């Protein structure tokens, strides 16, 4: 009976949804306590049972076997995202507990869900234009690994979860490579709901200052022009201004340029491995709140709650505008000829912002070690105008192809394309096709594993036109589709978080054929006799390089590496490109 659309139940829904005035939840953040995983889920279940216009869904598995939950709040008992899109509603997705030692968003989301459902202060009116969906706890394995010793820089709450998930992955570095089941389940949610606005809630232990909450806003450089202007001139300024009207003022996340933030700070622009930048690839407005670890827990929760309310209000009141900007941005993206694969901070441009800090000092006496250390003197408050470098510019671009050709054997990649709704067709016949291919000229690896991978830091390539054999079932991926920015970010090898960077194509970096100095002798001699021009080049090299002339192995390698004997597939990026 609960999910019927009968008129009698709708009347009952209207009564239960908006007549309820008492809070159902018993949150204890004022006592420096954040709920356990079972307590979180039970509170969301209680809201589900009580209100017809809310539902707690199970949306796939996570790495520890437990389901990933999604809590949906609407102004009527309709929870089909396709129907809600037809109604023109914006979707606000809030993700919590990706780092379970940073739990403010969990408490704040629970309280906000309770308040909007019981229509505290007429909050329910926000649901006229917007549906709010929440992931209660994203990193369930880490949240269950609860201890008072998980987060060394904070004193409250007294017990929290662990940063690593059940596979010891940092899930906020996993959104492109998606090694976790959590990420694959998130893909399904993201593709199904296509959020217009996305918020991930975090805590920072960076510089000490007077603010309980800071913000990583959407980075304009990663969006088409129409959204760049909207973000810079409308969306982000409105959020800061509306926060200023409340109890908790907000500033940008303190991203260091100098030892002392008073000397200036920069907009933090990550890459698509992070949740907010992952959202950016789909023209969604991706944001991160970073609450301040050195403030007491109740202020951290309350300031996070205030921001959620401000963001929900802006999303609802500007629903049509947001959807129009996204639609225009998608059209803009689909006609681009060049795509940025790397960015750099523009240090020639900055704005001046007000910053309320504490004086930084290098000679604070440590009560632990008894020696001087860097720190902040919280008794010496200041308000100053500081430089904020908020402009990033592309440092390298690539030409946009019309199609990518992906061999069908790359199952892990195809799984991700399917989950995210990327359109492609498959070849119906074996075909030899003339395509552009990249060769990996050079690359470097991180010295330590990065979230389970040896990430390729620097990548250089060159391109060739070749005729390559493809087979029935290989994928032909049209680039100019709604998911264009994801496709380009993932398939261009030099893009910051591409499949190549995260080792999905490392098989091409190994040679499969070799030569032995003895065994290659007969074929090498035959080749020289049949190719006099090449033989002449080798003789000239011997004459010019005495060491080479004395080294049998070097001469055999010269023949092998500079003739058809060298395999064409070595270091050849397996994704072909068609430009016309």
What pLDDT is recorded for position 216?
Answer: 98
Encode pLDDT of 33-89 as tens digits: 999 999 999 999 999 999 999 999 999 999 999 999 999 999 999 999 999 999 999
> SS3 string of 7-30?
HHHHHHHHHHHHHCCCCCCCCCHH
The strand pair at 197-204 and 285-292 is best described as parallel
Produce one character per residue of 110-130: b if its CB has 16 or more CB atoms within 10 Å, e if not. bbbbbbbbbbeeebbebbebb
DSSP 44-66: HHHHHHH-TTEEEEEEEE-TTSP
Alpha-carbon distance of 274 to 281, in angstroms, equals: 11
How high is the pLDDT of residue 4? 46
Ordered structural domains, the chain, with CATH? 23-333 (3.40.630.10), 394-511+569-578 (no CATH), 521-561 (no CATH)
**pLDDT tens-digit series, residues 133-183:** 999 999 999 999 999 999 988 889 999 999 999 999 999 999 999 999 999
* pLDDT at site 340: 98
For CA atoms 43, 46, 50, 56, give the dihedral sign. Answer: positive
Nearest to 424 by CA among 434, 436, 414: 414
Q: At what angle do helices 297-317 and 236-244 cross, to 10 degrees?
A: 130
- Rounded CA-CA distance 361/265 in Å is 18
pTM of the model: 0.93
What integer pLDDT is reported at residue 575 of this predicted model? 98
Sign of CA dihedral 246, 247, 249, 254: negative
Q: Which long-range contacts (CB under 8 A, 24 or more apart) does 414-420 make?
A: 414/475, 415/184, 416/178, 416/184, 416/187, 417/475, 417/477, 419/184, 419/187, 419/188, 419/191, 420/187, 420/190, 420/191, 420/483, 420/486
∠ CA 100-104-110 to the nearest 5 degrees? Answer: 100
| Peptide bond preceding 432 in cis form (omega within 30 of 0) | no
How far apart (Å, rounded) are the C-alpha atoms in residues 563 and 559? 6
Pull the structure tokens for residue 5: 């659309």
Nearest to 78 by CA among 95, 108, 103, 55: 55
Torsion of CA 432, 433, 436, 440, to 10 degrees: -30
Tell me how far the alpha carbon of residue 396 is from its chain's centroid: 20
At residue 11, the pLDDT reads: 42
SS3 at position 86 = helix
Which tens digits make up the pLDDT trace of 37-53? 999 999 999 999 999 99
* Strand-pair partners of 214: 251, 290
DSSP three-state, residue 69 = strand
| Residues ≥6 apart with Cβ < 8 Å to 19 | none
Residue 13: what pLDDT?
A: 46
Q: Which residues of the chain register pLDDT less than 50?
A: 1-18
Determine how β-strand 403-406 pairs with β-strand 213-216.
unpaired
Token pair listed for 277:
């930048």
Other beta carbons within 10 angstroms of residue 4's beta carbon come to 11
In the chain the first and final C-alpha atoms are separated, in Å, by: 56
pLDDT at 19: 53
pLDDT at 401: 98
Helical H segments across 194-274, by residue range: 225-230, 236-244
Q: What is the pLDDT of residue 2?
A: 44
CA-based torsion, 34, 71, 311, 50: positive or negative? negative
């Amino acid at each position: 009976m609960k999910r019927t659309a009968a008129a009698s139940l709708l009347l009952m829904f209207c009564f239960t949804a908006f007549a309820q005035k008492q809070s159902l939840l018993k949150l204890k953040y004022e006592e420096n306590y954040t709920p356990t995983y079972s307590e979180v889920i039970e509170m969301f279940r209680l809201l589900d049972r009580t209100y017809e216009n809310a539902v707690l869904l199970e949306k796939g598995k996570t790495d520890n076997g437990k389901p990933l939950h999604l809590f949906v709040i609407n102004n009527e008992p309709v929870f089909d995202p396709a129907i809600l899109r037809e109604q023109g509603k914006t979707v606000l997705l809030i993700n919590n507990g990706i780092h379970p030692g940073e739990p403010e968003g969990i408490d704040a989301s629970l309280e906000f869900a309770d308040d909007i459902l019981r229509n505290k202060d007429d909050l329910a009116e926000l649901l006229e234009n917007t549906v709010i969906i929440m992931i209660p706890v994203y990193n369930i394995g880490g949240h269950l690994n609860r201890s008072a010793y998980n987060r060394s820089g904070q004193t409250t709450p007294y017990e929290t979860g662990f940063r690593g998930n059940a596979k010891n992955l940092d899930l906020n570095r996993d959104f492109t490579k998606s090694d976790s089941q959590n990420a694959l389940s998130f893909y399904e949610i993201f593709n199904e709901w296509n959020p217009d606005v996305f918020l991930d809630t975090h805590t920072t232990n960076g510089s000490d200052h007077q603010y309980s909450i800071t913000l990583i806003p959407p980075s304009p450089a990663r969006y088409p022009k129409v959204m760049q202007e909207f973000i810079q001139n409308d969306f982000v300024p409105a959020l800061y201004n509306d926060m200023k009207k409340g109890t908790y003022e907000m500033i940008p996340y303190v991203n260091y340029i100098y030892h002392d933030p008073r000397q200036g700070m920069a907009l933090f622009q990550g890459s698509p491995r992070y949740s907010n930048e992952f959202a950016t690839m789909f023209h969604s407005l991706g944001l991160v709140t970073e609450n301040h670890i050195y403030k007491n827990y109740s202020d951290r929760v309350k300031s996070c709650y205030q921001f959620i309310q401000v963001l929900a209000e802006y999303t609802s009141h500007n629903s049509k505008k947001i959807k129009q900007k996204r639609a225009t941005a998608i059209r803009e993206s689909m006609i681009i000829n060049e795509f940025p694969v790397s960015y750099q901070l523009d240090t020639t441009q900055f704005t001046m912002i007000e910053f309320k800090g504490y004086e930084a000092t290098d000679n604070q006496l440590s009560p632990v070690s008894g020696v001087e250390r860097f720190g902040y003197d919280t008794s010496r408050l200041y308000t100053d105008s500081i430089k904020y470098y908020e402009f990033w510019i592309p440092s390298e671009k690539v030409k946009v192809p019309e199609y990518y050709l992906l061999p069908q054997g790359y199952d892990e990649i195809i799984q991700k394309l399917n989950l995210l709704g990327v359109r492609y067709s498959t070849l119906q016949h074996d075909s030899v096709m003339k395509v552009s291919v990249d060769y990996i000229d050079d690359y470097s690896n991180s010295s330590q594993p990065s979230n389970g991978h040896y990430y390729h830091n620097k990548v250089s390539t060159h391109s060739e036109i070749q005729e390559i054999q493809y087979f029935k079932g290989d994928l032909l991926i049209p680039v100019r589709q709604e998911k264009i920015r994801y496709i380009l970010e993932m398939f261009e090898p030099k893009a910051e978080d591409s499949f190549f960077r995260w080792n999905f194509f490392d098989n091409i970096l190994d040679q499969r054929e070799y030569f032995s100095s003895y065994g290659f002798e007969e074929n090498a001699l035959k080749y020289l006799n049949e190719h006099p021009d090449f033989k002449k080049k080798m003789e000239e090299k011997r004459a010019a390089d005495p060491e080479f002339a004395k080294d049998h192995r070097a001469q055999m390698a010269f023949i092998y590496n500079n003739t058809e004997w060298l395999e064409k597939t070595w270091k050849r990026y397996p994704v072909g490109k068609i430009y016309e």
